[in-house]
């Protein structure tokens, strides 16, 4: 035998860029979840605002497909809008959580629906890891 040629696959530059942005998007999604939990725990607005910024960053880093208007998207955005309007106009028990929770729900849905499969998987694993940490924390 003259020599062996290894059959390793070299990823094209586009795949490497996708892997890097997918990791960044998943990390920002995890940071957003942690900040949203902190905001709910301590009741201050600034962690929720930072969570929304982290979600926007995750959407910017991981956007791979165009968002589509589906019945589920209409239901999620309708529920978020209804909850915010209820908090502002109908309910006598106003809290800032009543505005930020629907905002974060709508943002997370919009961001997550634009991820490709790899980024989608990574963000779901980041959310699972965050949930596991919170469960261990007590």
**pLDDT tens digits, 20-73:** 566 787 788 888 888 888 888 888 889 988 988 988 888 887 777 777 788 988
Q: How many CB atoms lie within 10 A of CB 20?
A: 11
Q: Provide the 3-class DSSP secondary structure of residue 66.
A: coil
Helices 97-112, 13-42: inter-axial angle, 10-degree rounding: 170
Helices (H), the chain: 13-42, 45-62, 71-85, 97-112, 117-137
Instruction: Note the Cα 71 to chain centre separation in Å.
Output: 20
Q: How many residues comprise the chain?
A: 138
Q: Is the pLDDT of residue 119 over 90?
A: no
d(CA 35, CA 98): 16
**What's residue 7's pLDDT?**
45
Q: Is the model's pTM score more than 0.75?
A: no
Higher pLDDT, 21 or 97: 97
Cβ neighbours for 31, distance < 8 A, ≥ 6 positions apart: 51, 54
**What's residue 15's pLDDT?**
52
d(CA 39, CA 35): 6
d(CA 49, CA 53): 6
């Amino acid at each position: 035998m003259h020599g062996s040629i290894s059959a390793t696959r070299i990823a094209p530059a586009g795949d490497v860029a996708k892997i890097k942005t997918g990791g960044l998007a998943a990390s920002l999604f995890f940071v957003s979840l942690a900040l949203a939990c902190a905001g709910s725990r301590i009741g201050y607005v600034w962690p929720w605002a930072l969570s929304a910024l982290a979600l926007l960053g995750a959407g910017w880093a991981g956007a791979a497909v165009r968002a589509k208007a589906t019945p589920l998207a209409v239901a999620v955005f309708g529920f978020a809008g209804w909850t915010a309007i209820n908090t502002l106009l109908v309910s006598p028990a106003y809290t800032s959580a009543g505005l930020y929770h629907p905002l974060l729900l709508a943002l997370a849905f919009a961001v997550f629906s634009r991820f490709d499969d790899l980024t989608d998987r990574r963000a779901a694993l980041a959310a699972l890891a965050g949930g596991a940490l919170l469960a261990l924390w007590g």
